[in-house]
Amino acid sequence: MSIVSEFREFAVKGNAMDLAVGVIIGAAFGKIVESIVNDLIMPVIGAIFGGFDFSNLFITLGSVPEGVAMTLVELKKAGVPVFAYGNFLTILLNFIILAFIVFMLVKQVNRLKKEAPPPAPAATPEDIVLLREIRDSLSK
């Protein structure tokens, strides 16, 4: 079997296609969650805490040249090493929200799955039925 035919067989198997669809949908879902965090949740948190913005939380690890604004973007442009833990907090919040949504989704899918009824007992073979009838008629 050639490598091309093996690859084609692998690529069209159901599991590979399901995985590909899952990855594509997962990436799109990740963008939705990122937008929810950045555009809906973080502004509310900022409003509650008085303009608080996680993305601008950082610690400078080097000296700041004169004339450079103390914003994360400007410090990075100037080449100043910064410990930008605010971006990490935002990504961590994205992950927690995404994990919770996936948990709720799996929980609902499991709840909606109907348990398969137990299999019906197998029918007794005809020869056993006949032997039982004979036994019953002889015992009378």
pLDDT of 80-134, one tens digit each?
898 988 888 878 887 888 788 878 888 888 888 777 777 888 888 899 888 899 9
27: alpha, beta or left, given left = phi > 0 and alpha = psi -120 to 50? alpha
What are the boundaries of each domain within the chain? 3-117
Class of domain 3-117: mainly alpha
What pLDDT does residue 51 have?
66
Q: How far apart are CA 79 and CA 76, in angstroms?
A: 5
Given a cut of 80, whether residue 1 has pLDDT beyond it is no
The pLDDT-based confidence of 47 (bands split at 50, 70, 90) is confident
Q: How far apart are CA 94 and CA 83, in angstroms?
A: 20
DSSP code string of 66-87 = TT--SSHHHHHHTT--EE-HHH
